[in-house]
């Protein structure tokens, strides 16, 4: 009986996939697979998952494994077990060589049988281990995901950081700052933390760049800090629009005591641009932040904010991004990570 129900569920999901592939929006049919992927990816990272899906389906059929992976990761998910729908898309992505999807197939959340998990593990290691032997920073980081909560995880993450992967550098800096790494001599821990944070920012990891900008401003150098943050505002990074908007508008001053630089109009522009660009169906926090900043403005300031917000959105696309896009790496292009991040190694 259970097997029959599972079979019916699988059939229904496969049928829905086929149906959705037929129901592509007219706009998608005029796009190349690459264009559909970019469109779908942007909508996905604006939390507009339903709008994104037809474009991502079209892109997935056109060979973009990451498109299926993004569909699988749309919205909320159960941390302990995959839904049948998530599993089907993760499997589609994994079969097309998507590395994070292959990790998903191996994980405890996966519906795959143990024998199938072992087959995926072998496939994954066959790709990742040779790259690790070449010193590929991302290969270390990807493998570390299979060893969370073990000593091997920390070792692999450290190897990734010192080989040059910015996200791992950020994480190691955080860990050292919190006290991990007992081997440091007095005074050397702070230097190592600063070195890792700087490397992560230099490597293009947006969270590290944002941290650098915030700490520079909190330290009193407003012009330099704002120049750093403006580089991410110009990219339309949703996280920096949120973090900087909250600080500049003053709505976060009760909690962020070290921040003393305020610009209510600029802060409200960032928060309104973010609220207008993202869907409140998944998370209405951005709209709430924008409403709180708006309530502090005079009528004249509100008119100014409306004008500046329109100008900003006419020239920028706002969506969530981290600067690394590791979700786009597959069996076929993992080697390119060595070229991209290999120059960011730490001695």
Residues 25-62 pLDDT 10s: 556 668 999 999 999 999 999 999 999 999 999 999 99
Overall pTM surpassing 0.75 (yes/no): yes
Please give the mean pLDDT across all residues of the chain: 90
Comparing CA positions, the residue from 248, 181, 183, 194 lying closest to residue 217 is 248
Q: At what angle do helices 65-72 and 33-44 cross, to 10 degrees?
A: 20
The answer to whether 319 and 45 are in contact (CB under 8 A) is yes
Structural tokens at position 211: 């941290």
**Burial state string for 221-236 with b = 16 or more CB within 10 A and e = fewer than 16:** eeeebbebbeebbebb
Q: What is the DSSP string of 52-115?
A: HHHHHHHHHHTT-HHHHHHHHTSS---SSS--HHHHHHHHHHHHTTBHHHHHHHHSTT--S-HH
- At residue 176, φ and ψ (nearest 5 deg) are -65, -40
Instruction: Convert the pLDDT of each residue in 251-275 to its tens digit.
Output: 999 889 889 999 999 999 999 999 9
Neighbours of 257 (CB within 10 A): 8
H helices within 234-321, ranges in order? Answer: 238-249, 264-277, 285-294, 299-315
Residues 99, 104, 107, 111: is their CA dihedral positive or negative?
A: negative
From CA 175, how far away is CA 261, in angstroms rounded? 29
The answer to whether 277 and 319 are in contact (CB under 8 A) is yes
Question: Which pLDDT does position 189 carry in this prediction?
Answer: 80
Query: Residue 190: which pLDDT band, with cuts at 50, 70 and 90?
Result: confident
- What radius of gyration do the chain's Cα atoms show? 22
Cα separation of the two ends of the chain = 60
From CA 252, how far away is CA 289, in angstroms rounded? 10
Structural tokens at position 255: 């909690």
Query: Residue 200: which pLDDT band, with cuts at 50, 70 and 90?
Result: very high
Structural tokens at position 307: 């004008």
Residues 37, 38, 41, 46: is their CA dihedral positive or negative?
A: negative
Query: Residue 149: which pLDDT band, with cuts at 50, 70 and 90?
Result: confident
Instruction: Convert the pLDDT of each residue in 297-327 to its tens digit.
Output: 999 999 999 999 999 999 999 999 999 999 9
Find all residues with CB under 8 Å of 332, minimum gap 6, and list them. 97
| Least confident span in 8-12, 154-158, 188-192, 212-216 | 8-12
Query: Residue 150: which pLDDT band, with cuts at 50, 70 and 90?
Result: confident
Instruction: Convert the pLDDT of each residue in 77-113 to its tens digit.
Output: 777 889 999 999 999 999 999 999 999 999 999 999 9
Angle at Cα 14 formed by Cα 8 and Cα 17, nearest 5°? 145
Give Cα separations from 64 to 31, 180, 334 (angstroms).
Answer: 14, 39, 15
Neighbours of 272 (CB within 10 A): 27
């Amino acid at each position: 009986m259970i097997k029959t129900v599972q079979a019916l569920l699988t059939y229904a999901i496969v049928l829905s996939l086929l149906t959705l592939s037929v129901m592509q929006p007219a706009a998608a049919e005029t796009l190349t697979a690459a264009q559909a992927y970019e469109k779908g990816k942007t909508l996905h990272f604006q939390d507009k998952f339903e709008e994104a899906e037809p474009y991502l389906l079209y892109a997935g059929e056109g060979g973009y494994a990451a498109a299926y992976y993004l569909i699988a990761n749309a919205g909320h998910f159960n941390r302990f077990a995959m839904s049948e729908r998530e599993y089907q898309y993760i499997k589609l992505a994994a079969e097309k060589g998507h590395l994070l999807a292959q990790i998903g197939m191996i994980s405890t959340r996966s519906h795959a049988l143990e024998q199938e998990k072992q087959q995926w593990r072998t496939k994954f290691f066959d790709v990742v281990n040779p790259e690790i032997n070449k010193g590929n920073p991302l290969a270390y980081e990807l493998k570390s995901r299979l060893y969370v909560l073990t000593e091997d995880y920390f070792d692999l993450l450290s190897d990734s950081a010192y080989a040059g992967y910015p996200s791992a550098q950020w994480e190691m800096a955080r860990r050292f700052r919190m006290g991990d790494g007992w081997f440091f001599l007095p005074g050397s821990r702070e230097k190592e933390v600063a070195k890792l944070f700087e490397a992560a920012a230099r490597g293009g990891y947006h969270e590290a760049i944002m941290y650098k900008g915030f700490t520079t401003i909190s330290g009193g150098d407003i012009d330099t800090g704002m120049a750093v943050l403006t580089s991410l505002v110009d990219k339309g990074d949703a996280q920096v629009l949120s973090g900087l908007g909250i600080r500049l508008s003053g709505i976060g001053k009760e909690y962020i005591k070290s921040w003393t630089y305020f610009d209510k109009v600029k802060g409200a522009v960032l928060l309104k641009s973010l609220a207008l660009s993202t869907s409140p169906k998944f998370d209405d926090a951005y709209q709430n932040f924008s409403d709180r900043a708006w309530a502090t403005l005079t009528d004249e300031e509100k008119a100014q904010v409306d004008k500046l917000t329109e100008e900003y959105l006419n020239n920028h696309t706002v969506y969530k991004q981290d600067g690394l896009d590791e979700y786009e790496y597959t069996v076929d292009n993992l080697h390119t990570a060595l070229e991209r991040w290999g120059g960011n190694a730490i001695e």
